[in-house]
């Protein structure tokens, strides 16, 4: 998780979100956002798995676990808000 978080922080900072926030300010926020999203997704997925409704979708031989899809769906709005507004905010234009 640390290797992927490091790679994606650099990718997001330099390529995805062009921000004027300094790296030393964005890095702790990014680490907090990653930890928060990990905890929330783990808790939500565990809750969905504890109420096993046997929902799956088969694409040939590959099965698609709909609990994982639902977890990503429910948390996507929070993740969007965290990254765009808090971790990598857009620079305010001078008036």
CA atoms within 13 A on the CB side of 14: 6
Which pLDDT belongs to residue 25?
86
Q: Is residue 95 part of a domain?
A: no
Could you tell me which residues come within 8 angstroms of residue 32 by beta carbon, excluding any fewer than 6 positions away?
A: none
Q: In DSSP terms, which residues pair with 62 in a beta bridge?
A: 59
Instruction: Report the Cα–Cα distance between both ends of the chain, in Å, rounded.
Output: 41
Q: Is residue 82 part of a domain?
A: yes
Domain count along the chain = 1
Which pLDDT belongs to residue 46?
92
Global confidence as pTM: 0.76
* Structural domain span for residue 78: 2-87
Which pLDDT belongs to residue 38?
94
- Which residue from 95, 79, 88 is spatially nearest to 26, judged by alpha carbons? 88
Q: Is residue 36 part of a domain?
A: yes
pLDDT in tens, the chain (95 residues): 789 888 888 888 888 887 778 888 888 999 999 999 999 999 999 998 888 766 777 777 877 888 888 899 999 999 999 888 888 887 776 65
């Amino acid at each position: 998780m640390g290797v992927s978080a490091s790679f994606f922080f650099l990718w997001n900072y330099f390529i995805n979100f062009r921000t004027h926030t300094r790296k030393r300010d964005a890095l702790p926020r990014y680490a907090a956002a990653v930890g928060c999203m990990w905890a929330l997704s783990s808790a939500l997925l565990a809750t969905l798995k504890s109420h096993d409704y046997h929902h799956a979708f088969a694409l040939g031989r590959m099965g698609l676990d709909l609990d994982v899809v639902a977890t990503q769906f429910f948390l996507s709005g929070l993740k969007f808000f965290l990254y765009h507004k808090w971790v990598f905010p857009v620079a305010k234009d001078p008036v």
